Amino acid sequence: MQTLLSILQISAYFISLTLAGYLLSRGRFHPISVAAAGVLISYALIQADLYLGHEFGGRVEWVSRLLWVAYPLPVALWTRIAILLRPGDQLALDRAWWTLLMPIAMVLVLGGWVGHELMDFKTYDPGPLFWTYAVYNVGATAVAAWLLHQNFKAATKQDRAYRPFNALRLAGLAYLGGMICLLPGWFSTAFVYTFVVVDVIMFGIAAIVYDAVSEGQAMRRDLSFTLLKVLLAFIIIVTPWGIALLTADTWTPALALALLGTLAVISLGIPLGGHIEQFLDRLLFKSDSKDAEAREALRTLMLNEVRRPEAAPAIASLDHADFVRLTRRALSHMQNLPRLAASPLTEMQIVAKRLTHEANSIHRAHELRQVLTECIETLRPQSAEKFGTTDEWRFFNALYYPYVVGI
């Protein structure tokens, strides 16, 4: 049974980090994707802590104390996702999350780091103030579940993102309901960890599909290609670990931490490989280097080819809601050419007519950005002044400065 639990914990750790890495590679500027990746990383750290605690007990007290940071975060981030999924601007809820829920989570994190009142990390017994964490967890869980239910009632089946949104909602409710499974004696430990692995996979894939549908992109080929590379690297790199485990006389905390670190490098490094290359290019090339621009253009072309829908619907056939959603996405990506190049709006006739030669997705993105800029310029009031702050300038200023200027 102990071996089965260890396998389930390490599997949940590896799968969570892999899905989090892929989510960050797709939408590191998308708030929902960042929050979902944070939930998955928190899952992974919790599983790593449980694995180390079951294997070595108080010998890894300092590691468990550090990993306590992951425990208050999942319900807080789930609440953040539920707020972001609500239609329209949710300024009051967003302000409440930043000024109330997150400070409480940070206080609980610091409380676990500096003392034993919340948790005794030598014996893994709850401390005298553990009830504060329980109240926070139950309260945030109830708020997140209520928000997810309200979001589902407000969603429309005509929206193309309805199905992945519903899957995301079900994954959230499954996780929040899974808190009941953690009550002592209600369910076997193996069942709880199996439930966690299944829920992690469901939540990760639902978040990825939701991001892809929201961006008007495909994800099957790109995700399959990424998972295949991760699996290949796992087989090549972790096979020596399996041999070492079978032949080793003792299994020490240092070896366990090295294994977890190796799995983290594989699961995060491969999905984020393109961003690592971008960082290295900034170090090796000058900012205006043509070689760096050529490498970035090549990466963008390769990425867009695997994320382009195989049977994309014609722009003219999109309903008003989908067209508005894609336009808002394109506006938010005007300063991010690779993301803009993946927009289905690059296939519009107005963009194609402006191209005088066979163009790739980079050229189409440039033209789409120019079209959007010209549309925003039409909102500029007819005035002798170049800029203004009066009421007639409000629509132009609301679009020009954040999207065209990028401030």
Give 86-134 pLDDT, tens digit per residue: 776 677 888 888 888 899 989 888 888 887 777 777 777 777 877 888 8
CA dihedral 400, 360, 304, 335 (to 10 degrees): -20
Secondary structure letter of residue 219 according to DSSP = -
DSSP 53-65: HHHHGGGGHHHHH
- pLDDT, tens only, 298-332: 777 777 777 776 655 556 666 677 777 778 878 87
From CA 343, how far away is CA 303, in angstroms rounded?
12
**What are the backbone dihedrals phi and psi of residue 279, each rounded to the nearest 5 degrees, phi first?**
-65, -45
Mean pLDDT (the chain) is: 77
In the chain, what are the helix, strand and coil shares in percent, each to the nearest 5?
75, 0, 20
d(C-alpha 35, C-alpha 75), whole Å: 11
Phi-psi region of 200 (alpha: psi -120 to 50; beta: other; left: phi over 0): alpha
Contact indicator for 211, 26 with CB cutoff of 8 Å: yes
Q: Distance between CA 153 and CA 147 in Å, rounded?
A: 10
Q: Percent of the chain beyond pLDDT 70?
A: 79
Domains of the chain and any CATH numbers: 2-271 (1.20.1070), 273-307 (no CATH), 312-405 (no CATH)
Average pLDDT estimate for 200-204 = 79
- CA 183 from chain center: how many Å? 29
The CB density around residue 91, as the number of other CB atoms within 10 Å, is: 8
Distance CA 58, CA 55 (A): 10
Q: In which residue are the tokens 């208050």 written?
A: 72
- 341 versus 27: the higher-pLDDT residue is 341
Kindly report the pTM of this predicted structure: 0.77
Q: What is the pLDDT of residue 17?
A: 93
Query: Whose CA is closest to 214, among 29, 406, 404?
Result: 29
Decide which of 270 and 341 is more confident: 270
